[in-house]
Structure 1
């Protein structure tokens, strides 16, 4: 964990914010000062260790960025034995002279507030000023102030009397503090020797997102120009090209045609990392789009239509949505309505007439929706989708992937391997988990790192895949009567079952399901499905607390269909398993109890500081 997070994420964030501040017009004097220092000391050479220590202006800029944008912005410590601590100048509301900490009590230290305090750092505390590190700052009350002469390699907590904690303090202090600063200096030197940096034209506010570190919400745009003057880096010739194999390719929307998505090389599932990056980028993109028009009555009508469709065609999904807040409910209904309309293209009354060209046209309509344009035919459901994208920054990729799933339905009636089926399940159902994730929301304290955010995303995908596998196992007979077999042919062969046996048993009651080979086959499939449910359950703690219950209830109710198949003696060839309403109510109660457990787990993660890893819940 130290190598993954402290090894690169905090340093990358420090470099980002340093460049962000240096290219501001009001800070141009500091940028020129650093550029001149680098050119004068190094004269175009790559720096040695000793030369990196001769760049005080550069280091001061990095330290000032760390003061304004601490990485992390919050430190957590636990009091072991109990203590009474004297009240400092920032404790305005404390009447006594001391504050008591009890044994086992957790202490949250906001380095963001501490390092931006005007009481300690003066009236310009929120302004980037690297020169402040040259001058002494007088103390205030019990705070002894900042003394440059007490600095070692940098002005650490002792020099600032614990008002500056970029790497923590005490026995738990980061052991890589000096290495991180040297690493950051080396990177900035290399950049300043090769390029000129300038803020992009026009005012563009840089938004923040906070986890274990403070990041820019949508990246940091910059005008970059290669240096050609005589003092630029002289050793840039003959460098090898960077091997980009394996680098994440973050396309905001899929390119190419829908038909191309059914080619073998296109049958892939996006990684959780790709999707996390898309979520981050989409928030920034939506901010740039036009403001929301005043369409109250039209929107009410649009969402009402989506609600009625959801209520009529998916009672389980609708039941789960009742446990969400009103705004979240409406967007979930809009997403379901779009998904059902998409599915109707290949599985509805007019499906026999649907062509690949129809799917291409449907995707063009989707593109306009994500450009926040309501299509010309004025379908209220499209207006609801546009409003949902504005409010919750939905990403386009899963919607396009679902259209790709419909293309698979259009041309495929058999799935040779589970890998093929897994891609199909992601496209037609796992995508729903990704569509709704911005609505259900991340719990910021349970997604403190990018890795944890990716675990939550992967869990959402697993839940959708589990739902679709459940549908497939429930509807084997119904699908076979339409000439379709979704279960993997390789698995049928493994258990000695032929396609003809499945097709015949779907037409003739009493065949196949009572045989041991069918029961063994079904148990194999259901155990695979239950693994997906387990993966999904482990990630629900990463959702916002208010929305965990709706997801957990849907998981329990839908997962119980597998139990009903077993109760039906594995006859999913002539019978359709379902969960009676009274049992759904019981399962919702069970889900509520599980969410109470998760609430305690989430609180314990925060209390104990275990916000960097997630243990699997059973």
Structure 2
């Protein structure tokens, strides 16, 4: 089955690449280590996730700037748009006529995504799980949550928001074992990246009315919501918060270790890219520690020189390990 718009595929994939280059610096750099035929599929998966995430972010902006009546209407529009995107994706995958157009850019992204799903036989359920998690971030939906009491609760959310992304990517990357055997590590890598984001973005998430760090893990070190708000307002990290962050970073690194053990289950030629992505994203944790957990003062990023150095080292290693002609 091929979409009638297949002639537009090159344009659609180019647009996905532009989105990945503009918004996912670490992610995009790592994809440069992949073979040329795999990169468009990875860009399509990223562009789709980014498109949905932007809709969720728009709902946050609406909630913070409009009167209550307008908020209800406009947020409902955002949730409805997610429903329409899922409906169109399901229709494409089932080979049915499209229910409606959702905007030229989104239509092209879905065109590239559908082609990627079909080409690599990616399980459809990973996309529905992802969409359900995204609805948990929109006020007014029945799934909405802005707090997580325990790590177990947070991991339920990350199952859709992060682990599902790893599982979507796995068939594109390829494995040397049955795919099911590599899935736990792929899911763990998605979770590891997501938890790193949550640790880096505490201040931004507070601005959006959310706390993703588990309440029980914070409470163990005397941190509650009021203290988080105080740290954000003063842009200073309380000593109790430092200890809580150190503990959560240790938990995060444990998840990376689970994920990294699965890299050798991937096809050899994609391992450098995934190893680089894991190293670079975990590097954000190093930056948090290096700057004494000052996550409320500035956004932690891996310096560009380090990103290039890690990518170059993995590329050189891949050349050394490549079989001789």
Q: Is 1:382–2:103 an aligned residue pair? A: no
Q: After superposition, where does 1:577-616 map in structure 2 within 5 Å?
A: 577-592=300-315
The alignment partner of 1:570 has SS state of coil
Separation in structure 1 between the aligned mates of residue 32 and residue 97 of structure 2, nearest angstrom: 27
Choose from 436, 440, 443 the match for 2:169: 436
Q: Is 1:478–2:182 an aligned residue pair? A: no
Q: 1:295 to 1:360 in 2, by over 3 A?
A: closer
TM score, norm. by length of structure 2: 0.85
- Which residue does the alignment assign to 1:314? 24
Q: After superposition, where does 1:101-180 map in structure 2 within 5 Å?
A: none
Q: 1:381 to 1:405 in 2, by over 3 A?
A: same
Q: 1:541 to 1:569 in 2, by over 3 A?
A: same
Between the two structures, name the one with larger relative contact order (CA 8 Å, sep ≥ 6).
2
Separation in structure 2 between the aligned mates of residue 519 and residue 368 of structure 1, nearest angstrom: 48
- Which residue does the alignment assign to 1:409? 137
Residues 574-602 of structure 1: CA distance to partner in whole angstroms, max 9, x if unpaired?
221101111111222444577689x69xx
User: Structure 1: where are the runs of 5+ without partners?
Assistant: 1-289, 604-618
Residues 135-171 of structure 1: CA distance to partner in whole angstroms, max 9, x if unpaired?
xxxxxxxxxxxxxxxxxxxxxxxxxxxxxxxxxxxxx
The alignment partner of 1:354 has SS state of helix
Separation in structure 2 between the aligned mates of residue 361 and residue 294 of structure 1, nearest angstrom: 19
Q: Is 1:354–2:75 an aligned residue pair? A: yes
- Which residue does the alignment assign to 2:182? 456
Contact 2:33 / 2:315 at 8 angstroms: preserved in 1?
A: no
The alignment partner of 1:409 has SS state of coil
Separation in structure 1 between the aligned mates of residue 62 and residue 312 of structure 2, nearest angstrom: 39
The alignment partner of 1:569 has SS state of coil
The alignment partner of 2:38 has SS state of helix
Q: Is 1:369–2:80 an aligned residue pair? A: no
Contact 2:29 / 2:311 at 8 angstroms: preserved in 1?
A: no
Paired residues in the alignment total: 300
- Which residue does the alignment assign to 2:40? 330
Choose from 409, 417, 420 the match for 2:153: 420
Higher strand share: 1
The alignment partner of 1:412 has SS state of coil
Choose from 287, 291, 297 the match for 1:564: 287
Measured after TM superposition, the shift of residue 413 of structure 1 is 1.1
> Which stretches of structure 1, 4 residues or more, deviate above 3 A after TM superposition?
291-296, 349-352, 356-359, 372-376, 589-597
Q: 1:351 to 1:461 in 2, by over 3 A?
A: farther
TM score, norm. by length of structure 1: 0.46
Residues 207-238 of structure 1: CA distance to partner in whole angstroms, max 9, x if unpaired?
xxxxxxxxxxxxxxxxxxxxxxxxxxxxxxxx
User: Structure 2: where are the runs of 5+ without partners?
Assistant: 64-73, 139-143
Return the index of the structure with the highest Cα Rg: 1
Separation in structure 2 between the aligned mates of residue 369 and residue 291 of structure 1, nearest angstrom: 9
Q: 1:591 to 1:518 in 2, by over 3 A?
A: farther
Separation in structure 1 between the aligned mates of residue 229 and residue 53 of structure 2, nearest angstrom: 24
Residues 374-404 of structure 1: CA distance to partner in whole angstroms, max 9, x if unpaired?
7442621121112112211121111111111
The alignment partner of 2:117 has SS state of helix
Q: Is 1:489–2:215 an aligned residue pair? A: yes
